[in-house]
Chain A
Amino acid sequence: MSVTPLDAAGVAMPAQGTSLWTSARRRLMRNRAAMGGLIVLIIIAALAILAPYISAHAMDDISWEDIGAPPDWANGYYFGTDSNGRDLFARTLYGARVSLMVGVLASIVSLVIGVTYGAVAGYLGGAVDNVMMRIVDILYSLPFMFFVILLTVFFGRNIFLIFVAIGAVEWLDMARIVRGQTMALKHREFIEAAHAFGASSPAIVRRHIIPNILGPVMVFVTLTVPKVILLESFLSFLGLGVQEPMTSWGVLISDGARDMETAPWSLLFPATFLAVTLFSLNFLGDGLRDALDPKDR
């Protein structure tokens, strides 16, 4: 039994040779919903990158005459303006930059740590599992706000810290789910068979456990992304997230929620972008799960 988290981390992605990947890719390409999702995501990412070129106004320019103005195609405020008179179209697109990055990267961080940690704990069981899960209990219980405040105090403001802060909490759920699934798989016939054939523990975790828990993992990742994107706006409140005049969907949505009655556009557009992104990610996630499912192979 020499599985260290490090060993497993290197193999969190199923690596059964190129044939798996080619066949998975072929299966994924055939999945229309997944491909549609992917295309939409690419479009949104492109919009985010091209934001300065396609918006009529700079994202931080204040128009004193158009404070809280509704959408107006004539003057280039396609999504209206915010309560400072800034173009919400440009701001929504710029917001995509931070939110997509945070959503995807922080979710990957939580995925890698959570899956590795959970699989190792669940597979090894016994005292190791007990200690590892008590550590998770402890991390669940620590006051998140003070953690974030201390991060800002000791390390200043840094976009990298957003991932640290979010990653530090979001992997816990993932680890617990993966551990539960692993424990259930451990006693299945095919795992015991692999064991009998002399497969090493790291190999069993890598080849048999992780591919077989991808289903719930993928589902949970698609649940993590929106959580992470909205959590980012809380970090901004504590001074860790994005700073004005830069913005994110989380910040736009929480600002928009305040004015939902008097300025519904300020909530509607960023929220729609977020929803479309999540639907696309969801389809893509489902497709990926199907493509990688060992049972269909």
Chain B
Amino acid sequence: MFSFVAKRLLGAVPTLFVIITIAFFMIRLAPGGPFDSERAVPAEIQENLNRVYHLDQPLVGQYWLYLKSVLEGNFGPSFSYKDYSVTELIWAGFPVSMELGLTAVFLAVIIGGALGSLAALKQNRTADYTIMTAAMTGITIPNFVMAPLLTLVLGVYLRVLPVGGWGDGHELKYKILPVVALALPQIAYVSRLTRGSMIEVLRSNFIRTARAKGLSEWLTVTRHAARAAFLPVVSYLGPACAGIITGSVVIEQIFSIPGIGRYFIQGALNRDYTLVMGVVIFYGVLIILFNLLVDVLYGVLDPKLAHR
């Protein structure tokens, strides 16, 4: 196990290198630059700005410079939020996104897993239909519909929770709606996936054997079925986790949450080269870590898959 993890972490270096390289050139190939706006500036000023921000050198040269500074742990200043460095912005926003994201994922696994298992055990009965109808509804309603609906009803009409904002970051009332909006579709996803694979697993030979051996239904489900049934959920959740804890653009914009989710879109729209590269690398690291975690979890869920 240890050597497996170590090997994979070592393998992450070339993977990251490829991500940085492709992303760097992709971003620079796109039309438009960080200083373009409806207000066109004289060419000499444009040149001067490029010089100040080192955009006047050949692209390959800039790429090497960027690699060097990344190795030194410096992701450069942001082009669109000029008073902050990319590192500062990510470290200021990530804890916020992560707090909301982890809570949502946690809720999704617990509630979604339980509901999905329940539906599978009661397959084709009322409980199953109710849960799956709810889940499908949850999947159908995108968060850009759900979030405004929540703020409208609970924030404007009933005034029980704030519409948006973050306060000083320590007030529970600002976090409830975003977490709910973030968790609902994930709960639906997880319950749908769990139900599907649980039905599959419950039909398989080893569960039949367990039942034949006289094991109680509860033990059969929790000890044997749940593990195998969670495999596809875990496969899905790995990359999904990386996405959720880096924040959702829609949720963060609607609730005005100071996370990093919006930097993925806003950074790109602003052609904020350094900020986009910063979040791409950050996200890449998380993807690699979570997929590694998933592979480790496979071994836990199904001992036959344990890595040598």
Residues of A within 8 A of B (CB): 130, 133-134, 136-138, 140-143, 145-147, 149-150, 153, 172-173, 176-177, 179-181, 183-184, 187, 215-216, 218-220, 222-223, 226, 230, 253-254, 257, 260-261, 267, 271, 274-275, 278-279, 282, 289, 295
Contacts and interface: CB of A to CB of B under 8 A. Distances in A.
Contact of A176 (B19, B236, B265): B236
Contacts of A220: 193, 232, 236
B283 A141 contact: yes
A108 to B, nearest CB: 19
B145 A176 contact: no
Interface residues of B, number: 61
A150 B29 contact: yes
Contacts of A142: 19, 22-23, 26, 280
Given A142-B280, A180-B235, 17 more contacts: A138-B19, A141-B283, A141-B284, A142-B19, A142-B22, A143-B27, A145-B265, A146-B23, A146-B27, A146-B30, A173-B239, A176-B291, A219-B195, A219-B232, A271-B141, A275-B137, A282-B132
Given A176-B235, A184-B231, A141 B145 contact: no
A184 B228 contact: yes
A275 B294 CA distance: 32
B280 A180 contact: no
B3 to A, nearest CB: 14
B196 A219 contact: yes
B255 interface: no
Given A140-B239, A216-B196, A278-B136, A183 B305 contact: yes
Interface of B: 11, 14-15, 18-19, 22-23, 26-27, 29-31, 132-133, 136-137, 139-142, 144-145, 148-149, 152, 189, 192-193, 195-197, 199-200, 203-204, 228, 231-232, 234-236, 238-240, 242, 264-265, 268-269, 276, 280, 283-284, 287-288, 291, 294, 298, 302, 304-305
A12 B11 CA distance: 30
B304 to A, nearest CB: 5
A76 to B, nearest CB: 27
A79 to B, nearest CB: 17
